[in-house]
Structure 1
Amino acid sequence: MQSVEATASNTGKVGALSAPRHSKSLATLALLAVALLFWGPGVAGAVPAAVPQNPWMSPNPWNNIHNDAAFTDSYSMPGPAGSPSVDVQTFSQYTFQDPDTGQQITANTGECPAHTYDTDGNLQTVCGGYPNPFTNDFVRSIITIDPNGNLLAYKSFVVPFTNIQAALTEFGGIGYFYQDNEHRVVMGMPNGHIVAWERQPSPVSEVDRYVMARDINVTGSGGPLDGENFYALVPNDRGYIWFTTSEGSVGTVAPEPCATDCIKSLNVNHFNDGTIQERISESHPVAGRSTFQQTDHFMYRFDMASDGSPEIAWKAPYDRGTGQKPGQTSWGSGTSPSFFKIGDREFVTIFDNGVTPNIVVYRAEKYLRPGEERILAQAAPFGDRTDISDENSEIVMPGSTPDSIRIYAENNWGNESVLSTAGPLTTAGGFGGIEVWSDGRVEVLPANHTISVPSVVSKGNIADNSIITYEKRVDGWYLTALDAADLRQVLWSAWVGGGEPRFNNWYAQLSLAPGGDYYYIGTLTGVTKVTPR
């Protein structure tokens, strides 16, 4: 097995040290998984709020692109100490014996947008490959790599495309898979099947293979939703897989050993009198048996009946704006919803698409109490600015009091193509947030209007009260930590690389590795490992 990696050691030009470095043995992961069922008190006075471990997913916060089934996009374990000096490695090309055929091949992974981790702390991800203009397809792959970038497991599959620009912003399947409680990759395949891929030793290669552990035809030829396109998959706490399609279908797949009548679904367009055509272009958090999904017109809560059938529990409007904004892949909210609780009350939040957009917080329970309205609070974290669009999920963290939560949104305005950040180019600046109380009071946090965050799925860290993001400056790309209480304050920043496309992350995730010692950033040519010194 031969791995080819581009390696560089970089010294950032701006930065300040924060907390001491923390290092953890992977042997502590079992205890850590239990601890991560709760958010730690990263803010003075904050009471830990439960983030339940979904029993059908691998341990939080490493089971999907948004960390957990609630889509908090936050960690409660210390990361490495911030430093202007970092080691940078990009893992992207491998030459090896194919684990299915034994034939020697060279594979270029392309961007790997969503990060999950196995029990040994190895990265398990799905990578996009590169478009082939002669065959009009991508060779995508499921891979596992160890912390040194060595390829441990591999499975390739072909995805055809007709429009290259649309293909580069199609995140269904590749970005919105999840890792189940057996550390299998569960994803919607291009043939319309939901497949659970299990890693097994290969008889013909040192690299392990992935084999089908379960195969369900949902949208493929002969399936009940034949012709529709998968978008996202997340299981509920009974093991039913909530799935969505781009065309507005929402459904469930019963857990094994279901053999017949396993798939139940509805299409939201059957309930709007045909006056509009709703589409789905984001993923959905799950709480209990319910899931929350925004279309390009409305926000929904779906409940599951005893036979698995989805039902609309409530439907609420949001400001979808006047059109698709620069930096977005569709018209409407660009954020997957995030679910959270304050005390015994349930809430869900999105960033809308208004001319001056708002963070919107909905009461998530099925039934409202007397005098309550569905929208609890909304506020514009960037004030009256109109050059604001957000194509990534919000970050949810404990607030400054036991009765509040902080919600953060980034600005992706202007990220219209991979050329938007080439060389010295940057996008419109902005990282903002609000603090909201269970009684509806809301306070806009001090916003950072200058930091340019073109596309990364940023993360919060409750342990040190920080927001970790990937910013673009004139001289290149930086891994940067902001103070969660005052986003104008930069805690530390490290230069990762210049304005070449290989450092562009193009809507991929930023993740903290389970040992807490380094970060992975999905970039156009693979995954980039950043280790502060």
Structure 2
Amino acid sequence: MKAIFMKILTALSAFLMLFLSPGGQIRQPAASKKCPAFYGEAAVANPLEDEGNLPIPQHPFLAPEGTNGMHGNGYNTDTYDYTGPLGINPVVKSRSMNVFGGLVATLMFDSQGRIMCISGNVVGFRLLLIDADTLEILAETRLPQRPSTVEAIKTFNFSAISSDTSGGAYCHLLKGDRPIIGNSDNIIQIYYIDESSGKPEWKIEKEYDVDSYLPEGSHLTDAMPDYEGNIWFLTRPGEVGYIDAETEKVHVLNIKDLTGLKDENEEIQNTFAICEDGIYIVSDRAMYRFEIGEDKLPTYTWRTPYDRGTTLKPGAINQGSGTTPTLLDVPVYDKEGEGAKQVGVRKLCAITDNADKQVNIVVYDRTTGEVVDQYPLFTPGKSVSENSIVAYGRSFIIENNYSESGAGFLENNPTSEPGVTRVDMNYDCTKLELAWHSNEASATVVPKMSTENGILYLYTRVQNDDIPKNAVAWYFTAVDFRTGETLYKVFTGCGKNWNNSYGPITIGPNGHAYVGVFNGLISIEDTPA
């Protein structure tokens, strides 16, 4: 019966994909005409040249840093070495991807500057090739249906979709303009664009079927190569594995097989970070550094538990850390201030925990797994962190995602608790210190920063006397990295279709900013005076 239902659903999905993808602009309600188009003043680029940043190594198997995945690079710093919008005569463009849904979760850029991304809606996922300037869809192919979507259609309960990170929410771009995707059939696929016919078409270059190695109910969250070319993958129920680069043999185990904690469920909600010294994975109980053991099985070199709290908080997806691990290499100095000499480099990994009163940013030494320091964030009793940390130099920036009402696309009145905080490591990398705190409320977006202009980008809902009553007005928001001052806000749209609903901001090599919103994709670009 289940097999028959899946066949019917697959056919229905194909029909709906074909006939319910409008391809025009995202609809604006009448209230949008009454919302201020701009707050603040255009910014002046102020590149981050004196913050003591150590460059992020280029991953040997991924496309250039900044273009290869949701978080910009293998370190997951969410930073870009090219400029984003300064707010100079900004223009907002949009592309509706479906009648209902169409959110773009991960944007990547090929060597021609075109967008490669996955768009998800209630009937399935599509891999897209998009013109970065016009947002026109140039090529598309369907991906397998996710189990959460099947359940949502059967029960008409769509809340599970927004908390499911499997089957294409994450993907990465390999060298040679080749996306790598772990789909919901538990097949890792590598795609490429074939233009031999004169029209771009998606083709599959390579497939790795790992379904038989996973228990029923486990589905791939992400897949990405390490520095040796082994393709690592993980699932929400806790499987961690890799495909050997030379033999293509699959090695996989569940975290519980290593910890011995057989009576405790341990889930992995987010993707992982990769660098030359290891694979960094956070579960809902502990932070890990993984590597390949002598027996060729995945194993951890260290495991450090954190405070996971006692409950699932409003705005959180699960009880545990909501952040993808972020890596940073930080200079160590012999003293503070003028005349200080660099005496070393400390390799760090950062997440947030889920402590009951206040979540903490927790920074680990990547070599030993010891906690270097932790720092409490946001208003006591109203703090949640569900998105990756922005990291640069010796600084970490975290946004508050606490939301009593809920802030996703299902909410009529999405609100969130304000709070964006920057903390810095001190001169000898032993202590975190507050740099600034902003009262901007960036509900669910994955924030990003341009090191070329010194601007942190958020996506905020504005509520004030300028906004019509009951209008849900969304603004692309720029914040000064150095001071935390809000520089400007650009109105994008009103209502559910413009809610980013955990979609990220992405800065393109063309200087445009992109935001995945519930109904598709929007771009913000400067125009000459």
Q: Who is 1:26 aligned against?
A: none
Q: Who is 1:464 aligned against?
A: 453
2:185 is aligned, of 191, 216, 223, to 191
2:110 is aligned, of 118, 129, 139, to 118
Cα deviation 1:84-119 (Å, max 9, x = unaligned): x4222211249xxxxxxxxxxxx9870011110111
Question: Contact (CA 8 Å) 2:101, 2:518: kept in 1 or not?
Answer: no
The aligned amino acid for 1:460 is M
Q: Is residue 391 of structure 2 the alignment partner of residue 396 of structure 1?
A: yes
Number of equivalent positions: 468
Q: Is residue 423 of structure 2 the alignment partner of residue 434 of structure 1?
A: yes
CA distance in 1, matches of 2:450, 2:376: 23
Q: Who is 1:286 aligned against?
A: 274
Question: Contact (CA 8 Å) 1:502, 1:524: kept in 2 or not?
Answer: yes
3-state SS of 2:497 partner? helix
Shift of residue 80 of structure 1?
2.8
Report percent identity of matched pairs.
23
3-state SS of 1:162 partner? helix
Question: Contact (CA 8 Å) 2:407, 2:444: kept in 1 or not?
Answer: no
Shift of residue 234 of structure 1?
2.2
Q: Give the aligned CA root-mean-square deviation in angstroms.
A: 2.5
Q: Is residue 448 of structure 2 the alignment partner of residue 454 of structure 1?
A: no
3-state SS of 1:166 partner? helix
Give the TM-score normalised by the residue count of structure 1. Answer: 0.82
3-state SS of 1:113 partner? strand
2:317 is aligned, of 318, 329, 332, to 329
| Distance verdict in 2 for CA 1:390–1:144, change over 3 Å | same
Q: Is there any run of 5+ residues in structure 1 with no aligned partner, and where?
A: 22-40, 95-106, 132-137, 369-373, 399-404
Q: Is residue 499 of structure 2 the alignment partner of residue 512 of structure 1?
A: no
Question: Contact (CA 8 Å) 2:166, 2:184: kept in 1 or not?
Answer: no
Shift of residue 290 of structure 1?
1.1
The aligned amino acid for 1:332 is G
2:43 is aligned, of 8, 14, 18, to 18
Q: Who is 1:263 aligned against?
A: 250
Question: Contact (CA 8 Å) 2:272, 2:281: kept in 1 or not?
Answer: yes
Higher helix content, 1 or 2: 2
Shift of residue 175 of structure 1?
2.1
Question: Contact (CA 8 Å) 2:272, 2:324: kept in 1 or not?
Answer: yes
CA distance in 1, matches of 2:363, 2:441: 25
Equivalent residues in 2 for 1:105-504, closer than 5 Å: 110-129=102-121, 131=122, 138-146=123-131, 147-159=133-145, 160=147, 161-163=150-152, 164-201=158-195, 208-218=200-210, 220=211, 222-223=212-213, 225=215, 227-255=217-245, 258-259=247-248, 262-270=249-257, 271-288=259-276, 290-305=278-293, 308-343=296-331, 344-354=345-355, 355-365=357-367, 367=368, 374-382=370-378, 384-398=379-393, 405-414=394-403, 416=406, 418=408, 422=412, 425-437=414-426, 438-449=428-439, 451-474=440-463, 475=467, 476-487=473-484, 489-498=485-494, 500-504=495-499
3-state SS of 1:502 partner? helix
The aligned amino acid for 2:474 is W
CA distance in 1, matches of 2:418, 2:411: 13
Question: Contact (CA 8 Å) 1:62, 1:117: kept in 2 or not?
Answer: yes
Cα deviation 1:440-459 (Å, max 9, x = unaligned): 1221122113x111111101
CA distance in 1, matches of 2:499, 2:267: 28
Q: Who is 2:68 aligned against?
A: 63
Shift of residue 324 of structure 1?
1.1
Give the TM-score normalised by the residue count of structure 2. Answer: 0.83
CA distance in 2, matches of 1:362, 1:20: 33
Question: Contact (CA 8 Å) 1:381, 1:434: kept in 2 or not?
Answer: no
Q: Who is 2:15 aligned against?
A: none
The aligned amino acid for 1:91 is R
Return 321-330 or 409-418, whichever deviates more.
409-418
Q: Is there any run of 5+ residues in structure 2 with no aligned partner, and where?
A: 1-20, 153-157, 332-344, 468-472
Q: Who is 1:54 aligned against?
A: 59
1:525 is aligned, of 519, 522, 525, to 519
CA distance in 1, matches of 2:85, 2:307: 39
CA distance in 2, matches of 1:306, 1:313: 12
| Distance verdict in 2 for CA 1:309–1:50, change over 3 Å | farther
Shift of residue 180 of structure 1?
0.6
CA distance in 1, matches of 2:408, 2:199: 32
3-state SS of 2:256 partner? helix
3-state SS of 1:495 partner? strand
Question: Contact (CA 8 Å) 1:19, 1:82: kept in 2 or not?
Answer: no
| Distance verdict in 2 for CA 1:212–1:258, change over 3 Å | farther
Cα deviation 1:48-107 (Å, max 9, x = unaligned): 302011111111111010000000001122223224x4222211249xxxxxxxxxxxx9
3-state SS of 2:151 partner? coil
